Amino acid sequence: MRKSYAISCLLLVATFLFVATAGVQATIDVNADIPGVTGGATGGTGICNTVFGFYNFALAFGGVLALGAITYGGVKYTMAAGNPSGQSEGKAWVRDALLGLLLLAGAYLILNIINPDLTKCGLPPTLDRLSAAPPPTVGGLPPGLGTAGGGLTDAAARSSLTAAGVSVKPGVSLEGLQQGTVQSVQALKSQCGTSCSVMLTSGTEGAHASGRCSHSNGYKTDINSSNANLNNFITGLPTIGTRSDGAMMYAWNGGIIADERNIPGVASHWDVSSACAP
């Protein structure tokens, strides 16, 4: 009985030593360089490669210690013939060493089953700078529809508006009207529908507030406020605050529609501003 127990222990030790040695040779690559901050978990240099190598080395070293304890326990059991106390101590060495091996193997297997990434080492990828999202548009219009382009001729602006079903009050000049302004009015007519009558009552002519994003530069136009359906559509848009003169402002197509229906000294109308960089 004692001989077979000792032979079994020696065979177990030899088998594990062979497996551990082969595993260490296959996975551990000694690197004397100072670890940097680059590199991956396998191959090359870097702190992750160092940690990964130490992790494998610790597993192998723990296995070697456990196998040494098994060898010691087996020899002690064999040499303690007729000494129950010595044999019990030898068995305890072997039992504890086997439990240690089971713990090592079990921990590794559990980590690989639950989340294999826990047994790997790698640095997170460098985050690329995120590009700014295009500004949201109202009414489901595609991004870029309200982007202001170059000034149009009166004929070109008038033709585009007429084709979209927008009328122009006689005497109104559209010379120099920005493409984005025309598109904002076209989109307003399109989204409001056939029940909305849209008419331009002022363009680049006349006396208006000066500035970069002004009527004279083609970034603003006035439209009628006499159509109830049009008024209801505009007042249903998201509000973005009140202007200094008390006009409520609504977000539209990257620009603003200001309610100038009740401004003292000003004829009732809606003030449409297209996107403009001041």
Higher pLDDT, 91 or 221: 221
Q: Given this model, what pLDDT does residue 136 score?
A: 42
For the segment 155-183, the average pLDDT, to the nearest whole number, is 92
Would you say residue 35 has pLDDT above 60? no
Tell how strand 199-202 and strand 167-168 pair up.
parallel
CB 271 within 8 A of CB 246: no
Look at residue 93 and tell me whether its pLDDT is greater than 60: yes
**pLDDT value at 249 more than 90:** yes
Contacts of residue 24, Cβ cutoff 8 Å, sequence gap at least 6: 56, 57, 60
User: Does the pLDDT at position 167 exceed 60?
Assistant: yes
Distance from C-alpha of 32 to C-alpha of 98, rounded to nearest angstrom: 34
Q: Decide if 66 contacts 54 (C-beta within 8 A).
A: no
Q: Is 26 exposed, middle or buried (0-12, 13-18, 19+ CB in 10 A)?
A: exposed
Average pLDDT value for residue range 75-101:
81
- Res. 257: pLDDT tops 90: yes
Non-local (6+) Cβ contacts of 245 within 8 A are: 263
Which residue from 3, 42, 4 is spatially nearest to 26, judged by alpha carbons? Answer: 42
The sheet carrying 269-273 orders its strands as: 167-168, 199-202, 220-223, 269-273, 255-260, 248-252, 239-242
Q: State the chain's mean pLDDT as an integer.
A: 74
Residue 205 predicted with pLDDT over 60 = yes
**How far separated are the first and last CA of the chain, in Å rounded?**
97
Q: How far is CA 7 from CA 75, 89, 269, in A?
A: 10, 18, 103
DSSP strand pairing (199-202 vs 220-223): antiparallel
Q: Work out the average pLDDT over 210-235.
A: 88
Confidence (pLDDT) at 98: 84
pLDDT for 130: 45
C-alpha gyration radius of the chain: 41
Lowest model confidence (mean pLDDT) among 20-24, 76-80, 226-230, 252-256: 20-24
Please give the average per-residue pLDDT across 245-259, as a whole number.
91
Provide the pLDDT for residue 122. Answer: 58
Least confident of 20-29, 60-69, 164-173, 208-217: 20-29
Q: Which pLDDT score is estimated for 211?
A: 67
CB distance 221 to 215 below 8 Å: yes
Both tokens of 224, joined, read 């009628």
pLDDT exceeds cutoff 90 at 234: yes
Percent of the chain with pLDDT over 90: 29
Amino acid at 110: I
Q: Residue 133 burial (CB < 10 Å; 0-12/13-18/19+)? A: exposed
Q: How confident is the model at residue 106 (pLDDT cuts 50, 70, 90)?
A: confident
* Predicted confidence (pLDDT) at residue 216 exceeds the cutoff of 90: no
